[in-house]
Structure 1
Amino acid sequence: MDLAALLENPWLWLALFVFVAYTIEAVTGFGSIVIALSLGALLLPIPDMLPVLVPLNICMTGYLALRHRQHIHWSTLLRLILPIMGLGTLLGYGLRPWLGDAGLRSLFALLIIWFAGRELYFLLKANASARATHGNWWTRGWMLAAGVTHGLFASGGPLLVYSLTGVSLDKARFRATLISVWFSLNSLLTLIFVVDGSLLPALPRIAAFLPVVVVGVIAGEWLHHRISEARFRIAVFLLLLLTGIALLTASLLAGYTPIQ
């Protein structure tokens, strides 16, 4: 295979996006699937990428959940988040065939634009502490929506964090609990991929991408101590915002015809 043909391989580009995503997660603590999926969706169908990206995420979150298990807020995890988001995840997975790949890309682009735009607003205004808290039904409603987006894109993080503005957890408990959420829900999605037959064909790519994840985490750990995290987060959200706009524009211009 010559260099030009190699560079035209979208899965090679996805490997690069996985490296970027896990490097960013190691620096900032979030975003591996959201970033890899948003960049990859410019080239590949979302349903084709999820059976690769979701099991990869289990490797990292499983290790981190075990390492920080003493900080997990079990009552919030087991009584509130997992029952609601688990139901939403199943609903979201069931909606995927109805939306089709182009519909998934458009909806995902809108989610990314909202998430990145909102975070940039608070970062640039330097008033993140001014984010309002909300009541129980508001929290549960957005948590269900977070589960739906997780079932659709394995990316329930933006809406879950939004819903948890009404839940009081310190930084260590918040991080450890969220990590446990992703490990649990991504394990559920991986089991679904086993049942629907999409995991087995993805295993060679998962194995090939595992070293990329490791290198990305190592690179992120190195960068974490050498760059300004605040400025880096602004750059990441700008990247996500531009990617979301490009993804939405491509979907609209294609008239809901999958990009080849």
Structure 2
Amino acid sequence: MQPLLLLMAFLLAPKAQAVKIIGGHEVKPHSCPYMAFLRITIPDRKQCGGFLVREDFVLTAAHCWGRSITVILGAHNIRKDERTQQVIPVKTAIRHPNYHPTVNDIMLLQLQRKATLTAAVSLLRLPRRGEQVKPGMLCRVAGWGRLDLNTSTATLHEVELEIQEDEQCISRYRRRYNRATEICVGDPGKNQSTFKGDSGGPFVCGNMAQGIVSFGKKDGKSPHVETKISSFLLWIERTMRRFQSPD
């Protein structure tokens, strides 16, 4: 019986490790304290990711817009009532004025109250003007999106993805890809990607947000497209000043 049990353990082990954000892994709880979970209820029920860039603002993708959005900060398992969580309704959802599907896919969420910064809730830095990322760089992206076509997760997962040459996405998406405002991400030879529900999450290089998860193919295969944050810094700064909450 013992050799049979060993054989079964050997055969089952790879399957146990396969249930992850496509090609990624579950993160250590609260190791990405800037992450925001977006619960959107009106007009449609859906979820997205986002990240805290100021105590009263979350940055995300414009296609995550809704008339009723609740932000959950400090979460690891979004199906549990964790003591680290801060649940804050969105006061105003501000899409880029020139947004339309897959173009200028960026949005700021003004929170109804300021978040309290803790070990589990902190800000993520934005790039400086003119700062560019390059093909070959390895960066990280996290989210609560699906692990494959049929598997959802309640816990935060993360995957490391390589920046690709623009030509990879021009070939895959043709006119839908704009090298000036987007980043091409994910080695097409690897089964690693973000997926449904990860939209709006940050593409983090070092300790800085360089992109926002925007769109990809329905099969989840790489490469996919991130909104290039450095192209929108002026709009972000002006919008946060315009909607600044009084102290």
> Shorter chain as normaliser: what TM range?
under 0.3
Instruction: Identify the structure with the greater helix proportion.
Output: 1
Q: TM-score, normalised on structure 2? A: 0.25
Which of the pair has the greater relative contact order for Cα pairs under 8 Å at 6+ separation? 1
Q: TM-score, normalised on structure 1? A: 0.24
Instruction: Identify the structure with the greater strand proportion.
Output: 2
